């Protein structure tokens, strides 16, 4: 077993989410807002300005309880299971790149399934204020929202959008995790100097920021279509299917609807990745000192 507890990844992800939640909220609101024919799509700044103007600065942290519940399910499982898979492969001497990539994808899928109920709650809570009053869920917090969700939609309601959510989680974990584009780009930046300025980075915070931003560009673009469809499925309470969402959105908004919320998602992913791993490493060191 690793020399730190299984839940440490979830705690570090929760700490990172506290810093980047306003961008998560902005992304979800942009993804769930329906553009009418000929209308201009809302920008990141206009959504943030609207949220603050209508509800105040504190509104940017609406749904934080659901976000923390998500990190303590989705991130806890994906990070913890990946670390365990990596440890077992290291013991058998079979930790090749493609096997680690497969492990990251499997861990992402498990995390997507585990975190699906919390994802539904987070999307509904963060998008509530941009919905018509009669269609709002008005969950006061994640736990009461979970009870209401089960009462009104049954256990099956917890699996709403699980297919697109799991697909997104697999893509995200493989493309933005330690063994995906993040790790690959970090290795390249350590091996070769940056073009034009001829500067070679060292393995420090600056390297992590640069690699995270580059990996974030790749991961955000790859995951955006699944992310938008997931948000729209989870924000609804009817029996809509992914194909219904895609068909209707394509007719009303065109193919670019698949990239709604790309900007805040990109801005969030880089800092979130850096904060997650910085907190994770510090918590591991702290745990090691505590248990000595």
**For the purposes of burial, counting CB atoms within 10 Å of the CB of 184, is it exposed (0-12), middle (13-18) or buried (19 or more)?**
middle
The pLDDT of residue 115: 96
Distance CA 3, CA 12 (A): 16
Conformation bin of residue 198: beta by default, left when phi > 0, alpha when psi is -120 to 50: left
162-176 vs 116-127: helix crossing angle, rounded to 10: 100
Each residue's pLDDT tens digit, 50-63: 888 888 888 899 99
Distance CA 103, CA 95 (A): 10
Average the pLDDT over 261-290 and give the result: 84
Q: Which is it for the CA torsion 11, 16, 22, 23, positive or negative?
A: negative
| The token pair that represents 68 in the structure block | 């923390």
Distance of CA 149 to the CA centre of its chain: 21
The pLDDT of residue 38: 47
Is there a contact between 182 and 218 (Cβ–Cβ < 8 Å)? Answer: no
Q: Residue 90 pLDDT > 90, yes or no?
A: no
Q: Residue 65 pLDDT > 60, yes or no?
A: yes
Average the pLDDT over 55-74 and give the result: 93
| The token pair that represents 206 in the structure block | 């600056």
Q: Residue 279 pLDDT > 50, yes or no?
A: yes
Which superfamily does CATH assign the domain made up of 8-33+42-290 to? Mitochondrial carrier domain (1.50.40.10)
Confidence of residue 126 (pLDDT cuts 50, 70, 90): very high
Is there a contact between 212 and 262 (Cβ–Cβ < 8 Å)? Answer: no
| The token pair that represents 113 in the structure block | 């399934």
Is there a contact between 235 and 123 (Cβ–Cβ < 8 Å)? Answer: yes
Confidence of residue 2 (pLDDT cuts 50, 70, 90): low
Confidence of residue 144 (pLDDT cuts 50, 70, 90): very high
Distance CA 202, CA 189 (A): 8
More confident residue, 145 or 86: 145
The pLDDT of residue 123: 94
More confident residue, 196 or 105: 105
Q: Residue 164 pLDDT > 80, yes or no?
A: yes
Task: List alpha helices for 128-253, DSSP H.
Answer: 142-153, 162-176, 181-191, 205-235, 242-253
Distance CA 146, CA 70 (A): 12
Average the pLDDT over 214-229 and give the result: 86
The percentage of residues in the chain with a pLDDT greater than 70, rounded to a whole number, is: 90
The pLDDT of residue 116: 96
Closest CA relative to residue 270, chosen from 226, 206, 225, 227: 206
Distances in Å between the Cα of 123 and the Cα atoms of 9, 74, 111, 194 are 22, 14, 17, 39
More confident residue, 40 or 133: 133
Q: Where are the domains of the chain?
A: 8-33+42-290
């Amino acid at each position: 077993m690793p020399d730190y507890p299984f839940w440490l990844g979830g705690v570090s992800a929760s700490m990172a989410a506290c810093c980047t939640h306003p961008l998560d909220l902005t992304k979800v609101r942009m993804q769930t807002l329906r553009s009418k024919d000929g209308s201009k799509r809302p920008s990141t700044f206009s959504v943030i300005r609207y949220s603050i103007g209508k509800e105040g600065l504190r509104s940017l942290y609406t749904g934080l309880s659901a976000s923390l519940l998500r990190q303590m399910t989705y991130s806890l499982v994906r990070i913890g299971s990946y670390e365990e898979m990596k440890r077992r492969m290291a013991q058998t001497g079979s930790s090749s790149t493609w096997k680690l990539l497969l492990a990251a994808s499997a861990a992402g899928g498990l995390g997507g399934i585990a975190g699906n109920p919390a994802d539904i709650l987070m999307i509904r809570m963060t998008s509530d204020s941009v919905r018509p009053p009669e269609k709002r869920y008005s969950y006061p917090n994640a736990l009461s929202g979970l009870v209401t969700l089960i009462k009104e939609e049954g256990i099956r309601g917890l699996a709403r959008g699980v297919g697109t959510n799991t697909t997104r989680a697999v893509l995200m974990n493989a493309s933005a995790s330690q063994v995906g584009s993040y790790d690959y780009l970090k290795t390249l930046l350590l091996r070769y100097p940056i073009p034009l300025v001829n500067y070679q980075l060292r393995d420090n915070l600056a390297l992590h920021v640069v690699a995270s931003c580059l990996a974030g560009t790749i991961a955000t673009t790859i995951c955006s279509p699944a992310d938008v469809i997931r948000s729209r499925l989870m924000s609804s309470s009817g029996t809509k299917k992914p194909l219904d969402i895609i068909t209707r959105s394509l007719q009303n908004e065109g193919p670019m609807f698949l990239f709604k919320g790309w900007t805040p998602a990109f801005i969030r992913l880089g800092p979130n990745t850096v904060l997650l791993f910085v907190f994770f490493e510090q918590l591991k060191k702290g745990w090691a000192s505590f248990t000595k």
